C-alpha cells in the first residue's frame, strides 16, 4: 500500500550544482508514477517532507535543493544509505499533444522534467522558459536541450546566464510579441512566479497546469495543512488548472505556516 513508509536505498547521487543533488533509487510504485506526482520523504529523526519525483523509470529519483534542516540531512546521504518514502501522491500532470510551453523557476524544474520527457516522446513541440537566480544555480540545461525541439530560454536574476531578469517577465514579453498558439502551459516554481505566469496566460487564453507547493503533514487529504483556496495541495493537486487557480486568491501573496498562520511571500 502506497501509504506505508518503505525504505529505499540510494543507488546513486548526482551533484547537479552547489546546492542541488539528485538521489536515485528503485521503487515499484514510483516506476508507475505519473509526471508531477510527489513522495513524502522521511529522513529518520529529522522530518518528513514532500518532494517531486524527478525521474520515473527502473531508477527513480528525487532532486533536492538544500534549503533547510530536512534537505540538509538528505544531502548527507551517500550511495547505499537508506531513506523512507510513501506515495506517489497527488494527481500529476495531464499530458496533451500539440505545442506546449514549460515555464520553470529553479528547483521547480524537478517536477517538470519527467513531463518534458513524456511530451518529447509523444512528439509535442516544446518551448522551455527556465529561470535561475544566477549561473551557479543553473542545472539540467544540457538535459533539456536534448529533450526539446522548440525554443529554450534561460534567464537569471543577475544576467550571469541567459537573459537578465525574472523568467515570468521574459515569458510575458515573448508571448506578447510573438503570440505563439500554445495548447498548454506547464509551470512549476516559486508561487509568485506562478501567479504572474498564470495571470499572463489568462490574458492570452492559454490553458495552464501549475504544480504548487505548501507546508504538508498528512499527504492524504485530511489534515488541511496544505490548503490553498478551497483546495488541498496534497490530494486535490499538486497540479491545478485555470478554474482552480482562479479560486486561489492568496497564491503568491501569502502561504500558511505549520500553525496555519498566514506568512506573506
Tell the smallest beta-carbon distance from residue 39 to another protein (Å): 13
* Number of C-beta neighbours around residue 251 at 10 A: 22
Nearer to another protein, 36 or 219 (CB): 219
Three-state SS sequence of 218-253: CCCCCCCCCEECCEECCCCCCEEEHHHHHCCCCCCC
**Residues in contact with another protein, total (CB under 8 A)?**
35
Residue 183 · residue 204 · CB < 8 Å: no
The Cα-based distances of 205 to 56, 196, 211, 240, 241 in angstroms read: 31, 14, 19, 16, 13
**Residue 78: Cβ-neighbour burial (10 angstroms; 0-12, 13-18, 19+):** exposed
Question: Does residue 73 interact with another protein by CB under 8 A?
Answer: no
Nearer Cβ to another protein, position 90 or 162?
90
Which grid cell sits at 77?
546521504
36-65: which residues touch another protein (CB under 8 A)? 40, 42, 44-45, 47-49
The reply on whether position 83 binds another protein by CB under 8 A is no
Q: Which is nearer to another protein, 5 or 135 (CB)?
A: 5
Contacting range for another protein; rule: CB under 8 A; set: 1-9, 118-126, 149-157, 191-199: 1-9
Nearer to another protein, 59 or 218 (CB): 218
195-254 positions binding another protein, by CB under 8 A: 217-225, 227, 229-232, 235, 247
The C-alpha R_g of the chain, in whole angstroms, comes to 18
Q: Which residues bind another protein (CB under 8 A)?
A: 1, 3-5, 7, 40, 42, 44-45, 47-49, 82, 217-225, 227, 229-232, 235, 247, 256-261
Amino acid at each position: 500500500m502506497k501509504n506505508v513508509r518503505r525504505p529505499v536505498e540510494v543507488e546513486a547521487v548526482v551533484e547537479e550544482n552547489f546546492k542541488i543533488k539528485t538521489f536515485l533509487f528503485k521503487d515499484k510504485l514510483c516506476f508507475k508514477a505519473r509526471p508531477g506526482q510527489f513522495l513524502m520523504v522521511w529522513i529518520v529523526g529529522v522530518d518528513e517532507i514532500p518532494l517531486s519525483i524527478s525521474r520515473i523509470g527502473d531508477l527513480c529519483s528525487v532532486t533536492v535543493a538544500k534549503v533547510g534542516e530536512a534537505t540538509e540531512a538528505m544531502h548527507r546521504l551517500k550511495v547505499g544509505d537508506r531513506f523512507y518514502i510513501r506515495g506517489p501522491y497527488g494527481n500529476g500532470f495531464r499530458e496533451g499533444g500539440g505545442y506546449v510551453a514549460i515555464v520553470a523557476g529553479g528547483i521547480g524544474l524537478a517536477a517538470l522534467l519527467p513531463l518534458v520527457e513524456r511530451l518529447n516522446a509523444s512528439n509535442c513541440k516544446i518551448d522551455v522558459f527556465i529561470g535561475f537566480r544566477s549561473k551557479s544555480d543553473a542545472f539540467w540545461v544540457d538535459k533539456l536541450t536534448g529533450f526539446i525541439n522548440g525554443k529554450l530560454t534561460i534567464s537569471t536574476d543577475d544576467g550571469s546566464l541567459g537573459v537578465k531578469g525574472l523568467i515570468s517577465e521574459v515569458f510575458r514579453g515573448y508571448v506578447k510579441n510573438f503570440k505563439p498558439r500554445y495548447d498548454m502551459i506547464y509551470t512549476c516554481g516559486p508561487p509568485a512566479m506562478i501567479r504572474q505566469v498564470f495571470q499572463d496566460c489568462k490574458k492570452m487564453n492559454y490553458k495552464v497546469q501549475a504544480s504548487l507547493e505548501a507546508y504538508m503533514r498528512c499527504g492524504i487529504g485530511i489534515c488541511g495543512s496544505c490548503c490553498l483556496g478551497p483546495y488541498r495541495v496534497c490530494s486535490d493537486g499538486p497540479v491545478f488548472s485555470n478554474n482552480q487557480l482562479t479560486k486561489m486568491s492568496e497564491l503568491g501573496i501569502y502561504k500558511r505556516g505549520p500553525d496555519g498562520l498566514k506568512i506573506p511571500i
